[in-house]
């Protein structure tokens, strides 16, 4: 018992001694605690010397490069303001939403903001009034004699376009031509001696390369942001109601409303893209921006300046991507390329010898990895030009030369097949509108029949429905519907129909096989 008590006394004594020593240490003057802070100071001084010699010099070089690019590009960047007089009836609806918000809505979504119609206030229930709608954007000077490249959506439907140069000079601009399928437009100001941007190569730029975006976000002109190329060959389905030509560069350089149409440049100050769109739920920058590559923009620019319009090559074939489904269906021997899924009789592709199941792997020495890439390349060539293809056919390489036709309405109509939708439609008149329970001023195509088992039937379209839009465009005749279907089919997209059924408005995508 005494031994146990002795051991317990020793333990308690040790604990008491430790506590006393801790109290002594913590009560010592701060200078006697440790040399930790002094060590930190020494490390900081050493790190500052290292930064000055190594890291800081590297960062300073990059900072200098940014400044040089900003100085070099500044006289070539312009701010664009637009004005449009609109006749509006009543209040609310899309016209009351800011332009920046409307631009981020998906195609056709504006129908759901037609509040007057949804309330049943059709016709002349509210007086019309004039309203001035304004917009803003950016652009880049491409020729010394006053030609400017920008986005189509910046100047679309504008009554007045004003360009502000980097020195504050304001000039009235003429819209020389627009190209909605690529969202590009060319302006002209009456001014000589301007400084055009140097044109670079979007094909050679790589993921990870530094780029700068310059423009007028929120009206703040000559704003410069830096980032890298985050991705290439992005297809988002946001141009031309989903049927446009897309091959976006993706960047994390900050792009915001007002940047549209401005230049994306590399560290040599060369134009590699036109800032166009962002992926954002808030409408502001989330680090994902998209720019039209200059390789896609150059032929559009040249065509508009030379002729005032865009002329595109026409292949006369439906193309798609190589994937697991098509590989199994066609027994393909390659893992990437553009699949020729069908060929139109007596058209350029057929005349050159292209066949369904062929996979185009190269055009004019350029590797082809997707159907979108082939479609964009063909569209960038002038009608009558010849392209040289390398085709994989049943595992064998075949060289084929194709003389392109011209992509026009007649060519697009060749893809049309009215039976594919399985619909019978007729233009809506005031009499038929009343008969089916709609107001007399309702417009669109009345569905009078739906074929059993058709794509339209499978996706819920019913007799009595009114098709108001196809891919965001008004339809007033069966030809309008066929044209929209042909464009969607050629691009491999679903046909998006805006349909009114009694008091409901809905959007119905119909796949076109």
Residue 153 marked in a binding site: yes
- Entry field: residues in the chain: 513
What is the Cα–Cα distance from 513 to 510, expressed in whole angstroms? 10
Active site residues: 153, 183, 260
Give the residues across from 268 on adjacent strands: none
Q: Which two tokens stand for residue 41?
A: 């100071």
CB-neighbour burial class of residue 459 (10 A; exposed 0-12, middle 13-18, buried 19+): middle
Biggest alpha carbon distance in the chain? 116
Query: For 274-278, which contacts have Cβ atoms below 8 Å and span 24 or more sequence positions?
Result: 274/140, 274/149, 274/150, 274/151, 274/184, 275/138, 275/213, 275/215, 276/151, 276/183, 276/239, 276/248, 277/236, 277/238, 277/248, 278/104
Q: Indicate the DSSP class of residue 237.
A: S
Element (H, E) at 61: helix 55-73
How far, in Å, CA of 141 to CA of 188, rounded? 9
Is 258 among the annotated ligand-binding positions? yes
Q: What sign results for the dihedral spanned by CA atoms 29, 30, 34, 35?
A: negative
**Contact call for residues 243 and 491 (beta carbons, < 8 A):** yes
15: helix, strand or coil: helix
Q: Assess contact for 252 and 266: CB atoms under 8 A.
A: no
Do residues 271 and 294 make contact, with C-beta atoms less than 8 angstroms apart? Answer: yes
Question: CB within 8 A of 235, min separation 6: which ones?
Answer: 246, 247, 248, 372
Whole-angstrom distance, CA of residue 305 vs CA of residue 318 = 30
3-state helix, strand, coil in the chain (%, to 5): 30, 30, 35
Cα(187)–Cα(194) distance, integer angstroms: 14
Q: What is the CA radius of gyration of the chain?
A: 32
Binding site as annotated, residues: 153, 183, 258-260
Q: Indicate the annotated binding residues for substrate.
A: 153, 183, 258-260
């Amino acid at each position: 018992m005494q031994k146990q008590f002795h051991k317990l006394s020793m333990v308690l004594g040790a604990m008491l001694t430790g506590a006393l020593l801790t109290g002594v240490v913590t009560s010592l003057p701060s200078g006697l605690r440790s040399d930790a802070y002094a060590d930190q100071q020494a490390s900081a001084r050493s790190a500052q010397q290292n930064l000055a010699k190594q890291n800081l010099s590297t960062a300073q070089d990059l900072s200098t490069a940014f400044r040089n690019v900003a100085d070099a590009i500044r006289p070539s960047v312009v701010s664009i303001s637009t004005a449009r007089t609109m006749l509006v009836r009543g209040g609310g609806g899309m016209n009351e939403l800011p332009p920046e918000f409307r631009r981020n809505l998906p195609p056709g979504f504006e129908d759901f903001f037609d509040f007057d119609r949804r309330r049943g206030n059709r016709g002349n229930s509210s007086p019309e009034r004039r309203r001035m709608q304004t917009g803003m954007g950016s652009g880049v000077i491409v020729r010394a004699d006053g030609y400017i490249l920008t986005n189509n959506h910046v100047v679309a439907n504008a009554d007045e376009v004003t360009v502000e140069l980097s020195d504050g000079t304001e000039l009235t601009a003429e819209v020389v031509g627009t190209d909605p399928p690529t969202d590009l437009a060319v302006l002209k100001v009456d001014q000589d001696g301007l400084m055009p941007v140097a044109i670079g190569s979007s094909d050679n730029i790589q993921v990870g390369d530094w780029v700068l975006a310059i423009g007028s976000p929120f009206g703040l002109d000559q704003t410069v942001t830096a980032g890298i190329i985050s991705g290439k060959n992005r297809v988002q389905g946001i141009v031309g109601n989903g049927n446009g030509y897309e091959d976006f560069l993706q960047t994390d350089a900050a792009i915001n409303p007002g940047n549209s149409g401005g230049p994306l440049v590399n560290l040599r100050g060369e134009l590699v893209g036109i800032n166009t769109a962002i992926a954002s739920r808030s409408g502001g920058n989330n680090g994902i921006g998209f720019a039209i590559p200059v390789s896609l923009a150059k032929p559009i620019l040249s065509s508009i300046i030379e002729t005032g319009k865009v002329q595109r090559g026409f292949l006369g074939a439906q193309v798609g991507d190589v994937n697991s489904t098509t590989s199994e269906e066609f027994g393909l021997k390659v893992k990437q390329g553009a699949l020729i899924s069908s060929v139109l009789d007596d058209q350029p592709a057929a005349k050159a010898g292209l066949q369904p199941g062929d996979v185009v792997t190269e055009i004019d020495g350029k590797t082809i990895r997707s159907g979108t890439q082939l479609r964009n390349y063909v569209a960038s060539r002038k009608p009558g030009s010849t392209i040289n293809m390398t085709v994989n056919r049943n595992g064998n390489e075949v060289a084929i030369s194709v003389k392109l036709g011209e992509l026009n309405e007649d060519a697009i109509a060749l893809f049309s097949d009215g039976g594919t939708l399985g619909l019978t439609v007729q233009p809506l008149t005031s009499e038929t509108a009343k008969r089916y329970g709609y107001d007399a001023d309702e417009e669109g195509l009345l569905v009078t029949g739906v074929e059993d088992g058709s794509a339209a039937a499978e996706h819920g379209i019913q007799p009595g429905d009114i098709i108001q839009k196809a891919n965001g465009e008004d339809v007033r005749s069966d030809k309008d519907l066929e044209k929209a279907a042909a464009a969607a089919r050629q691009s491999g997209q679903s046909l998006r129909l805006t349909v009114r059924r009694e008091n409901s408005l809905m959007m119905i995508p119909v796949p076109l096989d």
